[in-house]
C-alpha cells in the first residue's frame, strides 16, 4: 500500500510540474483551446502536488538537521536541535493533509458521480428497499448541499424501484459515497405483510466516478444509438414521440437505456454521461486488478456482488461487514444521517495508510 501511494504521489507531482512548464509555453498561451484543459488539470492537481512537494522538502531538511546532530560542529548541533521540532510538526501536519486528500483512491477528489440502485433478490420487497435507499441517499445529498438529478427510473407496481440512476455533483461527493458500492441487505417485515414474518431481501448499489470529457473520448462511431418509444408508468404522454435512447458501446457491449425525459436530446445527453461513467469505471477496475494484492488490505473491492451492509429494522441495527461496525441507529441512518458510517470507513482506510508508512496512529 505504501509503495503504491508513493508511486501515485510521485506521478501526480511529475504531471503537475510538466503542466507548469507547458503553461509557460508561448504557443500554448496563444491557443485558448489547448490552454483551457491544461489549466483545469493543473488546478485539479495543485492541492495534492504542492503538499507532496512540500513534504519532500521537509524530509530533506529533517535529514540534513539530523545529520548535523551527528556531526562535530556545536553551533550546527544547536541549530538543528532548535529547528527539528518545528520541522517534524510541519511534516506531520503535511502528512495529515496528504492522507486526507488521498484516502479513497485516485478518484477521491472528483466532485461528480453516478449512483445506480437496483432491486436484487426479494421481489417487490427488494424494490421497496431500493426506494428506501434512494430516499436515504437523497436526504444525505441534501444535507451536504449536493446537486441531485434523477437520470432514469423504473418504478415497481407498489411504488418501489426496479432500477434508478442518479447524477450527483458537489464537493467530496465521490470520496464520501464510493464505499456504498455493493449489496445492501435488509431484514424486516415486508410492507405487504403487516403481521408476517421477517424477510431478507437485497438491493445493489454502484457508485461510479464521472470522468472529464478529456479522460474518456467517446465518438459517435464507438457506439450504436437506438431511438424508441418510452414505456412504463406515465407512458400515455411520452409514447406519442420516440424519445427513449439506447446506447450500445460496440467494443465492450455496455448498454445504457434512458427514457426519463420527454426530450430525445435530454435523454441522449444523460445516456452519454452514464455510458462514459461506466466506461471509466471499467478501465479503473482493470487497472486496479493489477494491484489485487494491495486491494486485499483495503475496504472491500467495491464489487457490486459483494455484500457490504445489513439493515435490520426490528432491532434498529445496521452493520457494515467490511469493518465490523454495528450501530443501533438505523432510523437515523435511513433519514440520511450517514456520516457515522462513512467517516468510520474513511478513518479505517486512513489508518491503513498511516500504518503502511510507519506513521503510527492518530488520536
Task: Determine what percent of the chain is predicted with pLDDT higher than 70.
Answer: 85
Whether residues 216 and 295 share a domain: the answer is yes
Whether residues 127 and 154 share a domain: the answer is yes
**Rounded Cα–Cα distance for residues 198 and 196 (Å):** 7
Whether residues 162 and 301 share a domain: the answer is yes
- CA-closest candidate to residue 164, choices 181, 182, 151, 146: 151
Task: Answer yes or no: is pLDDT of 231 > 80.
Answer: no
Please identify, among 102, 131, 146, the residue that sits at the C-terminal boundary of a domain: 102
- CA-closest candidate to residue 324, choices 299, 305, 351: 299
Task: Answer yes or no: is pLDDT of 283 > 80.
Answer: yes
Domain CATH number, residue 289: 3.30.70.1660
Q: Which of the residue ranges 94-98, 110-114, 270-274, 297-301 would you say has the lowest mean pLDDT?
A: 297-301
Q: Name residue, grid cell 510541519.
A: 90
Whether residues 230 and 257 share a domain: the answer is yes
**Rounded Cα–Cα distance for residues 34 and 186 (Å):** 50
Question: Exposed/middle/buried for 363, CB within 10 Å: 0-12, 13-18, 19+?
Answer: exposed
Whether residues 32 and 151 share a domain: the answer is no
Task: Answer yes or no: is pLDDT of 343 > 90.
Answer: yes
- The average confidence (pLDDT) of the chain is 85
Q: What is the DSSP string of 60-121?
A: HHHHHHHHHHHSS-HHHHHHHHHHHHHHHHHHHHHHHHHHHHHTT-TTTT--EEEEEEEE-S
Q: Do 267 and 247 contact (CB within 8 A), yes or no? A: no
Whether residues 308 and 334 share a domain: the answer is yes
Whether residues 6 and 150 share a domain: the answer is no
* 362: CB partners within 8 A, 6+ apart: 96, 350, 351, 354
Whether residues 97 and 140 share a domain: the answer is no
Whether residues 277 and 349 share a domain: the answer is yes
**Rounded Cα–Cα distance for residues 79 and 77 (Å):** 5
Domain count, the chain: 2
**Rounded Cα–Cα distance for residues 10 and 6 (Å):** 6
Could you tell me which residue, 126 or 102, shows the higher pLDDT?
Answer: 126
Rounded to the nearest 5°, which phi and psi values hold at 116? -120, 130
Report the half-sphere exposure of 130 (CA within 13 A, side-chain side): 33
Average confidence (pLDDT) over 78-97: 90
* 3-class SS letters over 170-206: CCCHHHHHHHHCEEEEEEECCCCCCCCCCEEEEEEEE
**Rounded Cα–Cα distance for residues 322 and 306 (Å):** 10
Average confidence (pLDDT) over 36-63: 90
- 361 grid coordinates: 496512529
Whether residues 327 and 239 share a domain: the answer is yes
Task: Answer yes or no: is pLDDT of 286 > 80.
Answer: no
Please give the distance of CA 12 from its chain centroid, rounded to a whole number.
Answer: 19
Whether residues 70 and 185 share a domain: the answer is no
Average confidence (pLDDT) over 201-225: 85
Task: Answer yes or no: is pLDDT of 217 > 80.
Answer: no
* Residue 294, pLDDT score: 43
Please give the distance of CA 147 from its chain centroid, rounded to a whole number.
Answer: 15
Count the residues in the chain.
Answer: 363
Whether residues 65 and 138 share a domain: the answer is no
pLDDT-derived band at 110 (thresholds 50, 70, 90) equals confident
pLDDT-derived band at 295 (thresholds 50, 70, 90) equals very low
Dihedral (Cα; 227, 233, 235, 236), 10-degree rounding: 170
Average confidence (pLDDT) over 283-297: 59
Please identify, among 69, 102, 135, the residue that sits at the C-terminal boundary of a domain: 102
Please identify, among 102, 123, 157, the residue that sits at the C-terminal boundary of a domain: 102
pLDDT-derived band at 235 (thresholds 50, 70, 90) equals very low
User: Residue 73: which domain range?
Assistant: 2-102
- Residue 220: CB atoms within 10 A of its CB come to 7
Q: Do 60 and 21 contact (CB within 8 A), yes or no? A: no
* Residue 331, pLDDT score: 96
* Residue 237, pLDDT score: 45
Q: Which of the residue ranges 80-89, 107-116, 234-243, 277-286 would you say has the lowest mean pLDDT?
A: 234-243
Q: Give residue-wise pLDDT tens across range 117-134.
A: 999 988 899 999 999 999
- Sign of the C-alpha dihedral computed for residues 79, 84, 89 and 91 taken in this order: positive
Average confidence (pLDDT) over 248-263: 89
Could you tell me which residue, 148 or 356, shows the higher pLDDT?
Answer: 148
Task: Answer yes or no: is pLDDT of 212 > 80.
Answer: no
Amino acid at each position: 500500500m505504501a509503495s503504491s501511494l508513493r508511486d501515485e504521489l510521485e506521478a501526480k507531482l511529475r504531471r503537475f510540474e510538466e503542466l507548469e512548464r507547458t503553461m509557460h509555453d508561448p504557443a500554448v498561451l496563444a491557443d485558448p483551446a489547448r490552454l483551457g484543459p491544461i489549466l483545469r488539470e493543473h488546478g485539479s492537481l495543485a492541492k495534492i502536488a504542492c503538499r507532496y512537494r512540500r513534504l519532500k522538502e521537509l524530509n530533506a531538511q529533517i535529514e540534513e538537521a539530523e545529520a548535523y546532530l551527528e556531526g562535530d560542529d556545536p553551533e550546527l548541533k544547536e541549530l538543528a536541535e532548535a529547528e527539528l521540532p518545528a520541522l517534524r510538526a510541519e511534516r506531520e501536519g503535511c502528512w495529515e493533509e496528504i492522507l486526507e486528500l488521498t484516502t479513497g483512491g485516485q478518484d477521491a477528489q472528483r466532485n461528480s458521480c453516478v449512483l445506480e440502485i437496483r432491486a436484487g433478490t426479494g421481489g417487490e420487497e427488494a424494490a421497496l428497499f431500493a426506494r428506501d435507499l434512494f430516499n436515504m441517499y437523497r436526504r444525505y445529498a441534501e444535507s451536504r448541499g449536493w446537486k441531485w438529478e434523477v437520470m432514469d427510473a423504473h418504478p415497481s407496481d407498489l411504488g418501489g424501484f426496479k432500477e434508478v440512476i442518479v447524477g450527483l455533483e458537489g464537493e467530496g461527493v465521490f470520496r464520501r459515497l464510493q464505499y456504498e458500492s455493493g449489496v445492501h441487505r435488509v431484514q424486516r417485515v415486508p410492507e405487504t405483510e403487516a403481521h408476517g414474518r421477517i424477510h431478507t431481501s437485497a438491493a445493489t448499489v454502484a457508485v461510479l466516478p464521472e470522468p472529464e470529457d478529456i479522460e474518456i473520448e467517446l465518438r459517435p462511431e464507438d457506439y450504436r444509438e437506438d431511438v424508441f418509444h418510452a414505456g412504463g408508468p406515465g407512458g400515455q404522454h411520452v409514447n406519442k414521440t420516440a424519445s427513449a435512447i439506447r446506447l450500445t458501446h460496440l467494443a465492450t457491449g455496455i448498454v445504457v437505456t434512458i427514457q426519463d425525459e420527454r426530450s430525445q436530446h435530454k435523454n441522449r445527453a444523460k445516456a452519454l454521461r452514464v455510458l462514459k461513467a461506466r466506461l471509466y469505471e471499467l478501465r479503473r477496475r482493470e487497472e486496479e486488478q493489477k494491484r489485487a494484492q494491495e486491494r486485499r488490505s483495503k475496504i472491500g473491492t467495491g464489487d457490486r456482488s459483494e455484500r457490504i451492509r445489513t439493515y435490520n429494522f426490528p432491532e434498529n441495527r445496521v452493520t457494515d461487514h467490511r469493518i465490523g461496525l454495528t450501530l443501533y441507529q438505523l432510523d437515523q441512518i435511513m433519514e440520511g444521517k450517514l456520516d457515522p458510517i462513512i467517516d468510520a470507513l474513511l478513518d479505517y482506510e486512513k489508518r491503513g495508510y498511516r500504518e503502511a508508512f510507519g506513521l503510527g496512529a492518530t488520536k
